[in-house]
Amino acid sequence: MGRVLIIGAGGVGNVVVRKCASVPEVFSEIMLASRTLSKCEAIAKDITHVNIQTRQVDADNTNELIHLIQEFKPKLVINVALPYQDLTIMDACLATGVNYLDTANYEPKDVAKFEYSWQWAYQERYKERGIMAVLGCGFDPGQTQIYVAHAAKHHFDEIHYIDIVDCNAGDHGQAFATNFNPEINIREITQKGKYWENGEWVEIDPMSIHKPIEYPNIGSRESYLLYHEELESLVKNYPTIKRARFWMTFGQEYIKHLQVLQNVGMTGIKPVQFKGLEIIPLEFLKALLPEPGTLGENYTGETSIGVHIKGIKDGKIKTYYIWNNCKHQDAYKDAKAQGVSYTTGVPAMLGAKLMIQGVWKQAGVVNVEELDPDPFMSQIAKYGLPWQEAINIELPHEYPNE
């Protein structure tokens, strides 16, 4: 039905390629491109039932991207490269008139900051070109926002309080490792935390607010309040929200290692001189840490990601919880990946499928909660991420009386 170009051959890219290859009636031709061609070739070689084309491309170079897109002529580009490269890939799609989808918003390489303003600025140009950019179609961001859209459509007249809760209760056997790109992961959790309350952003020191939260099939885990990009789009698209927060679990060993690395300057993003060379400490640390894509084979345990919501339905207060649990072992069996890569890659494939089929179709730049959630929600379980819901239960957060 359509050609798809996938840019990025890390842990998530591996999942996206394999899941696209499982739906050949939709993804008629697949190309995987990355700065490191050997990574693309290793993934393609392991997929025997479908031919995966591979190419080397520098995703920082818009002209290289344009040339590749013009050569392959895809219907859609799936960007699972680094968030630093979102804008160059969006520029290439704009120049060639090709639809775009990603899983994380842009952040500049020299500042530990991420927000949607840079990508939302493409709105009119994408509209005029008649092409579509879907932002943040992973799990969080991504499926969590689709959960909110589903709740808004089927369960609430007004949504007032949202808490996105993300637990990884897995064990990869490493002393210290990150479940996705180390640069992005460490930048994300060492910057200031932030949440939305009463019409404004409240900023907090990193990891300064935390509490135990109960997760299905896992139990209680200490959870830390962070800033995450889907909060920005959710409060924009659901103006009745009074408070929106994001919580993520971290083990004590992880936090201890991170604190030591911060204390000695290894998480820094400013260049330093070392023996006449200019290096960035965090990039050097990344080179020392295990590749997230290599963690899957021995990973045990599971993830649990969901959304707690409180609002109004038919004039009455209503509470709602929707979530997915994903076992790392099941993710590896299905896509040779650990659960964090899997829960990001599967929604990206389904979002791309809906775009190629014309189910999700509109010109411009959109976040996933702006699209009809029903086609996604009706299919996502089939591809490996079933969801569950609970209505009018006591949620593990303090909400003001209404």
SS3 305: strand
Query: Residue 307's beta-bridge partner residues?
Result: 164, 322
Under a CB-based contact definition with an 8 Å cutoff, are residues 15 and 342 in contact? yes
Quote the pLDDT of residue 10. Answer: 92
Asked if residue 355 is part of any domain, the answer here is no
Residues 97 and 163 in one domain: no
Q: Are residues 154 and 188 in the same domain?
A: yes
- Output the CA torsion 76→81→83→86 (10° steps): -30
Distance CA 90, CA 64 (A): 13
Same domain, 306 and 249: yes
pLDDT of residue 399: 82
Domain range enclosing 99: 2-135
Give a yes or no: residue 276 inside a domain: yes
Say which CATH number the domain at 111 has: 3.40.50.720
CA–CA dist 12, 103 (Å, integer): 9
**118, 135, 152 — which closes off a domain?**
135
Query: The domain that contains 313 carries what CATH number?
Result: 3.30.360.10
Same domain (yes/no): 319, 180:
yes
Return the pLDDT at 267. 66
Three-state SS letters, 158-173: EEEEEEEEEEECCECC
Domain-terminating residue out of 78, 107, 135 = 135
Q: Are residues 115 and 154 in the same domain?
A: no
The pLDDT score that the predictor gives to residue 293 is: 60
One domain, residues 80 and 201: no
Q: Quick one: 107 and 187 in the same domain?
A: no
Residues of the chain with pLDDT under 70: 110-112, 170-189, 251-269, 282, 285-286, 288-290, 292-297, 402
Same domain, 98 and 163: no
If asked whether residues 161 and 283 sit together in one domain, one would say yes
135, 152, 172: which is the final residue of a domain?
135
Same domain, 113 and 227: no
Which tokens belong to 311?
A: 């609002």
Burial 198-233 (b: 16+ CB within 10 A, else e): eeeeeeeebbebbeebebeebeebebbbbbbbbbbb
pLDDT of residue 300: 79
Q: How many domains does the chain have?
A: 2
Residues 88, 104, single domain; the answer is yes
Tell me the pLDDT tens digit for each residue of 336-379.
999 999 999 999 999 999 999 999 999 999 999 999 999 999 99
Identify whether 349 is part of a domain: no
If asked whether residues 131 and 155 sit together in one domain, one would say no
